Amino acid sequence: MNPQSTRILLTGTSHPKLSQSISEHLKQPLGRMEVRRFLDAEIFVEIQENVRGRDCFVIQPTCFPVNDSLMELLIILDTLKRSSAERITAVVPYFGYSRQDRKTAPRTPISAKLVADLLEKAGATRVLSVDLHAGQIQGFFNIPFDNLYAAPVMYESIRQSMKNFDDVVIVSPDAGGVERARLYADELGATVAMIDKRRTQANVAKAMNVIGDVVGRRAIILDDMIDTAGTLTEAATAVLGKGATEVSAVATHGVFSGTAFDRITQSSLKEVIVTDSIPQKEASLKCAKIKVQSIAPLLAEAIHRISTHGSISELFKKKSLRA
C-alpha cells in the first residue's frame, strides 16, 4: 500500500517553512488544517479533512514562544485523537524544556518530564526529535521516541567550510558533549579537545581550561544548541588563548536568545553553522557569520521510514539520506 494513501502531514504555526520543505521532499502536500487565536490568545484548531484511521504526523518545534508552540501542539494532538486518527506522531525537531531534565536544586521542577506526560496525554503515540539536549529524556516517555542525530546533515557543510582536516580539532564545550565530539572527529578525521567550564547560574558560564591539543589547529566548537552564545564565545576565547589559529562553531539548534547575535558578531568566531530546526531567517539577516543547514531531508526520510516501518537507525549514516 502506498504510504501516502494513509499518511497525512500537518503543520503547526511555529515553523511552516520547515514543514513545507519536508512536504516537498516527500512529494506530499500538507494536510488542510486551520489554527487560529481568539482575542484573548486562546488557540483553536480545526482539521479540514478526514483523519479517521490515518497515520498522522504533526510538525511543530516547540521554539519561541515556547509555551504558545507547546500548547498549540497539544491542542492539535488532542484534535487528532478525538478524530479517531490511527497513529499520531509528534515531530518536534527542537524539544523545548529539554534543559530541565533533572532536579538541579531542592524544590525545582523536572519540566522535560512534565512535557513528556502532556504529549502522551494529549494523544501522541510516537515522538520524533533531533539531538535532544539530554538523551535520557527518551526514558520519560512510555511511547516510542526517535532521537535523530543532525550529524549526517552537518558533515557536508563542515567539509565545504574546512576543505581538509589535517589540522582540525573538534572541541566539546563541556564533558557531556565529548561523545558527540568524538562522533564528528571520527567521521571527519579530526582530533578532539574539551573545555572545562564552571557555570555560576543559568545562561552564565566561565570557560576555565582547555583539555587537549589545540595549538596551531583550526578549532570547531560543537554543541547541541546555542542560546545566549555566552558559553560559545567564552569557549572561543579560551581556545584561541591556547594557540588555535581560528575557531568556528557547529550546533543543531540555534535558539539565539537575548544578545546572542551581538555576541557572535563581536566575537572572534569565524563561522557558526546551525540547522533550521528553529526558524532562522532573523539569524541570517542579523549576523553574517551564521550559516543555516536544512534538516528537512533528514526529517522527511525519518517520516517515510516510520510510515513504511523502515529502519530509523540507518539514518545515522549520511548515505541513507535521499536528495
- Grid cell digits, residue 222: 560543537
CB 129 within 8 Å of CB 145: yes
DSSP assignment string, 68-81:
HHHHHHHHHHHHHH
Side-chain-side CA neighbours of residue 103 (13 Å): 5
Is residue 212 within 8 Å of residue 169, measured between CB atoms? yes
Pairing of strands 145-148, 87-92: unpaired
* 291 tagged catalytic: no
Strand 145-148's sheet: what is its strand order?
7-11, 55-59, 87-92, 126-130, 145-148
Nine-digit cell string for 94: 527542537
Which backbone phi and psi does 204 adopt, to 5 degrees? -130, 120
Q: What is the DSSP letter of 30?
A: B
Dist CA 187 CA 173 (whole Å): 19
Q: Which of the residues 197, 286, 289, 318 is marked catalytic?
A: 197
> Which conformational region is residue 198 in: left (phi greater than 0), alpha (psi within -120 to 50 degrees), or beta?
beta
Residue 23, phi then psi, degrees to nearest 5: -60, -45
Q: Which three cell numbers stand for residue 81?
A: 485523537
Residue whose C-alpha cell is 552564545: 229
H or E element at residue 46: strand 43-47
Cβ-based neighbours of 51, under 8 Å, separated by 6 or more: 8, 31, 80, 83, 84, 85
Catalytic site positions: 197
